[in-house]
């Protein structure tokens, strides 16, 4: 489907007032799960309408920001190949992108938890929202910094560089190394905010704590690997193994009610992630 038509459909859907006419979009889907989702988009709208007014408003606000991000992506990046490669303009644009993709989810998550969990009545919701926003931004920034080779080859450079084309060659990593290190440092700082958020969750809400701990710890391990890798090399994608994820889950489960132990484990991972690269 032409890019302009996709943007028009997103704009039509953004008010969340009705299901747009998807035309032939459903038939063009090759992924069964995405095709099924589009087929049942009307059911999703019906379900949204059954939430109470406050929750419905929170969900709508979230979806509207996410749709804004999808429109931004389609309008910013004109093509789907490396021949049509475009980069974000500056750090502010990267920050805005990470907010629309994930920072807004941190704000939403905070508002929903504060509204429904009596154990969080003591929260300063405004302050926690800001921490939640940074938490989400940090996780998305890790994704951006890890997935550069894949994104470049579909026409997207989420790093704000003047000319993204040389980045298709891994030997050009030195040209962006200082900025790349700075972006890694920023990701660590955002995850610090995420950890502050996590430790504001009472230990009796241990499942909620774990839901925050796991992505932070996986993110920090990923950053530590990126420090010593060439992130432009498509043949050596940095990833955390399933065994490592299981180990993180086990350690965090054993320590989840003990703040001192959790902080010690976090500081160990953070120390490795914060060490400057080669």
Asked if 259 contacts 205 with a C-beta cutoff of 8 angstroms, the reply is no
Domain residue ranges of the chain, discontinuous segments joined by + = 81-274
Would you say the C-alpha torsion 161, 164, 170, 172 has a positive or negative sign?
negative
- DSSP letter assigned to residue 22: -
Query: Which tokens belong to 150?
Result: 């894949």
CA distance 183 to 187: 6
Q: Which residues, 6+ apart, have CB-to-CB distance to 217 below 8 Å?
A: 248, 252, 265, 266, 269
CATH topology of domain 81-274: Farnesyl Diphosphate Synthase (1.10.600)
**pTM for the predicted model, two decimal places:** 0.94
Name the phi and psi angles at 86, rounded to 5.
-135, 145
pLDDT per residue of the chain (278 residues) written in tens, 0 to 9: 778 888 999 999 999 888 888 877 888 888 999 999 999 999 999 999 999 999 999 999 999 999 999 999 999 999 999 999 999 999 999 999 999 999 999 999 999 999 999 999 999 999 999 999 999 999 999 999 999 999 999 999 999 999 999 999 999 999 999 999 999 999 999 999 999 999 999 999 999 999 999 999 999 999 999 999 999 999 999 999 999 999 999 999 999 999 999 999 999 999 999 975 43
- The predicted pLDDT at position 192 comes to 98
Would you say the C-alpha torsion 41, 47, 53, 56 has a positive or negative sign?
negative
- The predicted pLDDT at position 5 comes to 86
């Amino acid at each position: 489907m032409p890019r302009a038509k996709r943007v028009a459909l997103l704009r039509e859907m953004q008010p969340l007032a009705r299901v747009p006419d998807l035309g032939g979009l459903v038939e063009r889907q090759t992924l069964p799960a995405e095709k099924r989702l589009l087929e049942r988009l009307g059911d999703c709208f019906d379900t949204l309408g059954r939430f109470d007014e406050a929750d419905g408003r929170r969900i709508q606000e979230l979806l509207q920001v996410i749709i804004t991000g999808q429109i931004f992506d389609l309008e910013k990046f004109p093509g789907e190949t490396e021949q049509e490669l475009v980069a974000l303009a500056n750090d502010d644009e990267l920050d805005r992108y990470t907010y629309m993709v994930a920072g807004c989810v941190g704000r939403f998550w905070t508002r929903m938890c504060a509204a429904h969990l009596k154990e969080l009545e003591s929260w300063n919701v405004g302050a926690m929202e800001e921490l939640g926003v940074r938490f989400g931004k940090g996780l998305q920034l890790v994704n951006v910094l890890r997935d550069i080779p894949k994104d470049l080859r579909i026409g997207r450079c989420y790093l704000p560089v003047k000319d993204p084309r040389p980045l298709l060659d891994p030997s050009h990593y030195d040209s962006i190394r200082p900025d790349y290190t700075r972006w890694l440092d920023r990701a660590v700082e955002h995850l610090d905010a995420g950890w502050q958020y996590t430790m504001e969750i009472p230990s009796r809400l241990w499942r909620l704590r774990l839901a925050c701990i796991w992505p932070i710890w996986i993110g920090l391990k990923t950053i530590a690997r990126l420090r010593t890798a060439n992130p432009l090399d498509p043949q050596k994608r940095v990833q955390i193994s399933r065994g490592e994820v299981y180990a993180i889950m086990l350690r965090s489960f054993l320590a989840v009610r003990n703040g001192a132990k959790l902080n010690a484990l976090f500081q160990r991972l953070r120390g490795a992630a914060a060490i400057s690269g080669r």
